[in-house]
């Protein structure tokens, strides 16, 4: 009877965790670049009442006699499938079509993170940054030899251009190249946004604000690479990747989790009633 109580309690705990994950998925249905999660269960430790024995020419073997003690959460897995594309028309909105992550740097702590959310902005100094002020990484010079903070300005203009010419426009190509146009008609590549890929993205750690840490444990590329190479996707300018949450699937999972939670609670209630009957036998 104690085993059934343990099984019921473990069921309540694990299905509550599943509801927590489902609730978080639904809450982030409109979060750009958000990746939904799913809970994976595993059978808990089993009590062995009798071990199995091998058979012989004259006898049959005896199977093991085991009773499970409940369920446990084996993993909460992040689903990195592609989210839908939405055109926004904003130059600083960027989307990765395919695999890969943007690399951003915290300029205060000098720590690198990755993100799928491309809702960037251009700050007062011309740096391409997240809403939290983290700077997007890539080739920061026109020669594309130095990896650092991406800055969109007229630095590195060709020698043939007018020294007094000002920047009149810019754009980002599918390969991440930042093209700057000057008032004298000159157009040149100011830098290039690079992407990072991982062999085991499940090792990434969610840090909030659409950021992931734990890059080294996830098996990154030796260095951030150009979009469209090394299995990485390309960049779509003026677009955002929506959340990959499937609302219909989440509501279905929510109903299943609710019913399973109720059943687990019923196991506890029934087990308690049976134990009460045992207590009453003494009276």
Cβ atoms within 10 A of the Cβ of 67, count? 11
Rounded Cα distance between 90 and 35, Å, is 23
What are the tens digits of pLDDT across the range 143-185?
Answer: 999 999 999 999 999 988 888 899 999 999 999 999 999 999 9
Q: How confident is the model at residue 132 (pLDDT cuts 50, 70, 90)?
A: very high
- Domain-located, residue 188: yes
- Domain-located, residue 186: yes
DSSP 238-277: TEEEPP---HHHHHHHHHHHHHHHHHHHHHHHHHHHHHHH
Mean pLDDT over residues 217-230, rounded? 96
Count of structural domains within the chain: 1
- Domain-located, residue 273: no
- Domain-located, residue 63: no
Closest CA to 20 of 70, 73, 69: 73
Give me the count of residues in the chain: 283
What are the tens digits of pLDDT across the range 61-102?
Answer: 888 888 888 899 999 999 999 999 999 999 999 999 999 999
Q: Taking the CA of residue 81 as centre, how many other CA atoms within 13 Å lie in the half-sphere pointing to its CB?
A: 9
Q: How confident is the model at residue 5 (pLDDT cuts 50, 70, 90)?
A: confident
- Domain-located, residue 97: yes
Which residues are CB-contacts of 201 (< 8 A; sequence separation ≥ 6)? Answer: 78, 80, 218
Rounded Cα distance between 137 and 150, Å, is 6
- Domain-located, residue 208: yes
- Domain-located, residue 104: yes
Pairing of strands 195-196, 65-68: unpaired
**Percentage of the chain exceeding pLDDT 70:** 99
**Helix axes 2-27 and 247-281, enclosed angle (nearest 10):** 160
Judge whether 271 and 4 are in contact, CB under 8 Å.
yes
Q: Which two tokens stand for residue 11?
A: 């069921």
Rounded Cα distance between 105 and 120, Å, is 13
Closest CA to 232 of 102, 85, 79: 102
Q: Helix, strand or coil for residue 16?
A: helix
- Domain-located, residue 151: yes
Mean pLDDT over residues 250-258, rounded? 96
Judge whether 155 and 125 are in contact, CB under 8 Å.
no
Rounded Cα distance between 239 and 165, Å, is 30
Range(s) of the domain holding residue 119: 85-241
Q: How confident is the model at residue 283 (pLDDT cuts 50, 70, 90)?
A: low
Per-chain mean pLDDT for the chain:
93
């Amino acid at each position: 009877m104690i085993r059934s109580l343990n099984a019921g309690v473990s069921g309540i705990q694990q299905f509550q965790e599943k509801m927590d994950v489902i609730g978080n998925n639904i809450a982030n249905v409109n979060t750009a670049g958000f990746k939904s999660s799913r809970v994976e269960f595993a059978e808990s430790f089993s009590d062995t009442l009798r071990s199995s024995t091998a058979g012989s020419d004259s006898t049959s073997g005896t199977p093991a006699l085991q009773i499970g003690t409940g369920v446990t959460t084996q993993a909460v897995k992040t689903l990195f499938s592609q989210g839908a594309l939405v055109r926004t028309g904003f130059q600083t909105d960027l989307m990765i079509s395919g695999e890969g992550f943007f690399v951003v740097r915290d300029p205060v702590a000098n720590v690198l993170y990755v993100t799928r959310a491309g809702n960037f902005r251009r700050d007062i100094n011309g740096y391409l940054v997240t809403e939290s002020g983290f700077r997007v990484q890539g080739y920061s010079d026109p020669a594309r030899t130095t990896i650092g903070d991406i800055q969109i300005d007229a630095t590195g203009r060709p020698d043939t251009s007018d020294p007094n010419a000002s920047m009149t426009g810019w754009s980002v190509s599918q390969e991440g190249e930042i093209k700057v146009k000057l008032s004298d008609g000159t157009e040149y590549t100011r830098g290039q946004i690079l992407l990072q890929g991982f062999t085991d993205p499940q090792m990434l750690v969610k840090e909030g604000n659409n950021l992931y840490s734990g890059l080294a444990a996830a098996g990154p590329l030796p260095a951030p690479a150009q979009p469209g190479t090394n299995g990485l996707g390309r960049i779509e300018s003026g677009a955002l990747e929506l959340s990959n949450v499937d609302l219909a699937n989440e509501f279905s999972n929510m109903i299943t989790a609710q019913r399973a939670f109720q059943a687990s609670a019923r196991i506890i209630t029934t087990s308690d009633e049976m134990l009460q009957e045992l207590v009453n036998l003494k009276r």
